[in-house]
Structures are given as C-alpha cells and as structure tokens.
Structure 1
Amino acid sequence: MTRPVLMGTCLLIAAPAFAQAQNDPSRDPAKTEVWKPVPAAVATPSGASPSDAVVLFGGKDLSAWEGEQGGKAPWTVADGAFTVVPGSKGIRTKQRFCDIQLHVEWRTPTETKGFDGQHRGNSGIFLQEVYELQVLDSYNNPTYSNGQAASIYKQSIPLVNASRAPGEWQVYDVIWKAPRFSDGGGLVSPARITVLHNGVLVQNDTVLSGKTEYIGAPSYSPHGCAPIYLQDHDSKVSYRNIWVREL
C-alpha cells in the first residue's frame, strides 16, 4: 500500500510545476525553433548523382575534361567508363573548384603479373591540381604506407586499407576544404580532407601540410580555385561516375 501513496504524492507535486512551466514565457519551446533559412531540396535518386551535382563524367564522353596541356582529353571512353592512355599525360576538368563534395569510382587493371608496389594500378586524383589523393592497387600489394591507396600522397596514411581486388570497381567519397590565403599570400587556413574508401572512413578531417611533393617536404603557395586533375602514371586505370557538389 505504500507505493500508491508515494506515486500519488509525486503527481501532486509535479502538477503545479508543470503548470508553472507552461505559464513561464521563458520556457516557450518556440523561442529555440529556427525556421529560416530553409535548406534547399536536393533530389537523391537511387543510382544517380544528386540533383545539384556537377556531373564530370556520366558514361558518355570527356567533354568536361581537357588534356594536361589543353586540347581534347586523350583518354579512351568505352562501356560507361574512361581509361588512362599510358604516356598521354593527365587530364583535368575545364571547370575550377574550391570546396567540394566529390564522388569518384575507379578500377585498376586485373592483370598484375610483373607489377608490384607503386607500379601496380597507379594513378592519382589531384584536388585543385596540386593535392594528391592516391589511386593504387593496394590489395595484397605492399608499398610505403603514405603512398598506398587512399593516402594523401607522402603526407597522410589512411586509417585502414579498404581496397578491393584488382579489376573490381572502387569508390572514393571526398569532402574537400580548400586552403585560404590572405591578400598578401600568407596561409590563413590549411586544406582539409575527409575520405571514405568503399564506404569506410580512411581520412578523417585530415589537415594537409601543403601541396603534394614526390621529393622533399610539402609547403603552401597561394592559389585560387583550380581544376581536378587525374594522373597518367603509366597504368591503365579506369574511372566512371564522377560528380561534384560545390560547398
């Protein structure tokens, strides 16, 4: 019989407190409700790019790209993908970008005999032309850790190796925050990158020390928005379904 008496007493105490809260203007929940701005609606159809994305390759042609030194992009297009032509040099987007969300699907060659380390399925995705996210066949293929797939080349080792077998399509989803420079050319804030490799987080808001260097330490020099550049590293790496959202 004790429990019902206690419950009744609690209800008697709680009721006035609840009424007081209702009558207190400072406790109005509407005071913490924000209605504007209203986020824009973005359609995300299954298997397609978001409705506000810039499609850089949708499976048909390389009209959004040009050769490293200008002119027509020299890589081959077939079966909804395009492939590096070794020795032809890289390609870059005609459009320039700063902060972006980037989606890229890529595939290294199935044949690996006679190739290992940095010679197996090597390419690279350069944000703003000078910051490289490594593309490499890193499936049972030892190499230096800050040069394997999903590394920020020679700067940041990926958290894990999420690589699929050679010949299988792989996915990078990237959030890129461009560096900021003062009017005088000084660095205000460094570049930052988050990368998911095949849906697995491999770079978590990584801060870059500067542009990619093959030899020596990275450093910054002032620049503005710039193209996305894909590297020819003498391997027939293929790409498909590339889109960006400007942030």
Structure 2
Amino acid sequence: MHVEWSSPVEKQGRRKSQALGNSGIFLMGIYEFQVLNSYQNPTYFDGQAGAIYKQVPPAVNAMRPPGQWNSYDIFWTAPRFDDDGELLSPAYITALHNGVLIQNHFEVKGDTPYTRPPSYKAHAPRGPIKLQDHRSPVRFRNIWVRDYQSAQVKQPN
C-alpha cells in the first residue's frame, strides 16, 4: 500500500502529543498503523508516526515538518486462521516512511486496542482499509494498493 499524508500546519490551541495531526490507517479494519505529527512533538513511543499502535515504535522518526507531505509504503502479510479459528500464522508488516525503513518484518501481536493487550480473533482473509477520523485535520492523497498475490506472474515451464 502507498499513501501520502500531511499533518496540519497550525497548532490548534496548545495541542500536542496525540492531539496534533492524529489519525491512523487500519489494515483489514483491525490493525492500526499510526499517523501523527511526530515532528518535534514528543509522545509515547508506540503512539508516534509509523508505530504499530500500542505494540512497537518505528525504528526512526522520518517525519517532515507539518504541512509537508509524508509517504508510507506498507508491505502487509495478513494473519491466517484455520477452520476452527485458531491462528496459523500472525500478521507481518514492513514499512517505509518517506523512503526510510521504519518497520522490518515486524510480527504483529494482534489487534491494536487502546485499553488492553493485543489479541487475535479469527476474521476473513481480506478486509477494508480504513482511515481514522480523530478530529484532527490530517490530509490524505495518492492512496493505492497492490495485491501481491494477484500480481504474481506465472513463469513458463
């Protein structure tokens, strides 16, 4: 997945930390990849831009100043479940932020709730991509998805 996003230039009042340019990209509608103005804006480590929310921070802070466009390139491997709903294989994510590797084949520990530890619950092998509305004027553009499985080319014998 490729997505470009920009956090607001103007601070609204004394907003800081999670209240500044906050949004998220929910992969399969369940797993949050954090969008946040992390440019000179300290917050908790697993809540900054490029974090798997409440699981792991990005390897580096690759944020551009507010108002400039940032890009994410996200390589996602969905979790797999057996017919009884047991986890066969967890989700994995690799991500680039403005061309910088920030997540390298991280094993996602489950969903990304705010109030409890992550866990897996069986779900369909495909799901929606959702952009979070967190009452912050984050802008998005140039969003595209490439399905690796359908893009594979069969080699001649």
Using structure 1 for the length normalisation, give the TM-score.
Answer: 0.59
Paired with 1:175 and 1:226, the residues of 2 have a C-alpha distance of 15
Aligned residue in 2 for 1:242: 143
Paired residue for 1:190, among 78, 85, 90? 90
Paired residue for 1:218, among 118, 122, 138? 118
- TM-aligned CA deviation for residue 232 of structure 1: 0.3
Q: Map of 1:26-175 to 2, 5 A cutoff? A: 102-112=1-11, 113-175=13-75
1:3-57 per-position Cα deviation (integer Å, ceiling 9, x unaligned): xxxxxxxxxxxxxxxxxxxxxxxxxxxxxxxxxxxxxxxxxxxxxxxxxxxxxxx
Letter in 2 for 1:233: H
Letter in 1 for 2:129: I
Paired with 1:237 and 1:158, the residues of 2 have a C-alpha distance of 20
Matched length: 146
Structure number with larger C-alpha Rg? 1
Q: Residue 118 of structure 1 aligns to a residue in which SS? A: helix
Q: Residue 159 of structure 1 aligns to a residue in which SS? A: coil
Confirm or deny that 1:231 pairs with 2:142. Answer: no
Flag structure 2 segments of 5+ consecutive residues without an equivalent: 149-157
**Greater RCO, CA 8 A, separation 6+:** 2
Letter in 2 for 1:174: I
Using structure 2 for the length normalisation, give the TM-score.
Answer: 0.92
Paired with 1:213 and 1:241, the residues of 2 have a C-alpha distance of 27
1:114-138 per-position Cα deviation (integer Å, ceiling 9, x unaligned): 2100000000000000100000000
Q: Residue 245 of structure 1 aligns to a residue in which SS? A: coil
Paired with 1:145 and 1:218, the residues of 2 have a C-alpha distance of 16
Aligned residue in 1 for 2:153: none
Paired with 1:157 and 1:235, the residues of 2 have a C-alpha distance of 21
CA RMSD of aligned residues (A): 0.6
Letter in 2 for 1:193: I
Runs of 4+ in structure 1 deviating by more than 6 angstroms, as ranges, are: none
Paired with 1:181 and 1:169, the residues of 2 have a C-alpha distance of 37
- TM-aligned CA deviation for residue 173 of structure 1: 0.3
What percent identity do the matched residue pairs reach?
Answer: 58
Q: Residue 173 of structure 1 aligns to a residue in which SS? A: strand
Paired residue for 2:79, among 173, 179, 188? 179
Flag structure 1 segments of 5+ consecutive residues without an equivalent: 1-101
